[in-house]
Structure 1
Amino acid sequence: MKVQSYLSFEGRCDEAIAFYKKALGAEVVQLMRYSEAPPMPASDMEDGCGGATPAADKVMHSVLRVGETELMLSDGRCSGQAEFKGIMLSITASTDADARKWFDALAEGGQVMQPLTQTFFTSSFGMLTDRFGVGWLMVVAAA
């Protein structure tokens, strides 16, 4: 079994992809736009599974490779109201320098909840919410 994160940016997915490429060195593995999808059957729209299709240039599905992990991202229904409540993504860095680099990059335009600092359990630990509202926890692997 494999559990992966799927984040809906509600219309800001292209912006998020560019941000994570710059901040974390993420690599786009897959990207499909709504314009590439086959037409939705009318029956799907009638039973509430469809609804209005977002603009053709919006991201229907994407996969980013971030280090050893793949994150899936989408524009969702393009409501403009992305909400990432009750979850955080965690990065385990090998060094304090990497932790600092990624923490500062993710914090740009976001909000630091716990500054990156030494704790009793690791040399660097911090928490933040990035500019999209995604929560991140940064920790250096214990030696």
Structure 2
Amino acid sequence: MSLNAVAHLNFHGEAREALEFYQSVFGGQLSIATYADFGMPPEVPGATNVVFGQVVADNGFRVMAYDVPGADTPARSDAPTTYRENGTTITKEPFFLSVRGETVDEVTPLWESLAKGATVIEEFGPAQWAPAFGMLTDRFGVTWIVDVAAQYTQA
């Protein structure tokens, strides 16, 4: 038996735009079904919103998302929910998305793409625990950790 855990992101009218953005960053196949696809009359507000969406890439990346029924007003505000203070990450968020690669060259383009329009919490670069680490909140309000797996040796 094989299991995997996949992040499922909840948006308010921005799921399609977010999924298209993540596909542009990570590649892969984009699948989207709207509320209208499941029988909601097209003239009803929100009928074109995403009821199920995902990006699945050959490199192992996968994310799911949908638009929460109701008002199409993003839930986030201008106040940061994650920030650095005195060398510590402070957050009110229940989760982050982490993308870990094997080399700096592999993850640097991902960081650069996610950083467009983002708020950088911690600049991407060498860290005590990893060859490279960075944290940002993208333009959709999702906080990402991008890092490179450290090579440990057993004693």
Determine whether 1:34 maps to 2:26: no
Cross-structure match for 1:65: 56
TM-score normalised by L of structure 2: 0.74
- Deviation per CA, 1:116-138: give whole Å up to 9, x if none: 11112111011000000100001
Aligned equivalent of 2:75, options 66, 79, 82: 82
- Deviation per CA, 1:18-63: give whole Å up to 9, x if none: 21111222421x3211111146xxxxxxxxxxxxx75221111112
TM-score normalised by L of structure 1: 0.80
Unaligned runs of 5+ in 1: 40-52
Cross-structure match for 1:135: 143
Q: How does 1:1-143 map to 2 (within 5 A)?
A: 2-28=4-30, 30-38=31-39, 54-66=45-57, 67-77=59-69, 78-83=71-76, 85-143=93-151
Structure 2 residue identity aligned to 1:138: V
Query: Greater relative contact order: 1 or 2 (C-alpha under 8 angstroms, separation 6 or more)?
Result: 1
Q: Distance in 2 between matches of 1:98 and 1:54?
A: 41
- Deviation per CA, 1:69-89: give whole Å up to 9, x if none: 421111112432234833110
Q: Distance in 2 between matches of 1:106 and 1:11?
A: 20
User: May I ask how many residue pairs the two structures share in their alignment?
Assistant: 130
Q: Distance in 1 between matches of 2:110 and 2:125?
A: 14
Structure 2 residue identity aligned to 1:20: Y
- Deviation per CA, 1:96-122: give whole Å up to 9, x if none: 012211111101001110001111211
Are the counterparts in 2 of residues 82 and 132 from structure 1 also a CA contact under 8 Å?
Answer: no
SS at match of 1:118: strand
Are the counterparts in 2 of residues 6 and 71 from structure 1 also a CA contact under 8 Å?
Answer: yes
Unaligned runs of 5+ in 2: 82-92
Are the counterparts in 1 of residues 28 and 56 from structure 2 also a CA contact under 8 Å?
Answer: yes
1 or 2, which has the higher helix percentage? 1
1 or 2, which has the higher strand percentage? 2
Q: Percent identity?
A: 28
Are the counterparts in 2 of residues 8 and 75 from structure 1 also a CA contact under 8 Å?
Answer: yes
SS at match of 1:103: helix
Q: Distance in 1 between matches of 2:96 and 2:107?
A: 16
Question: Cα RMSD between the aligned structures?
Answer: 2.2
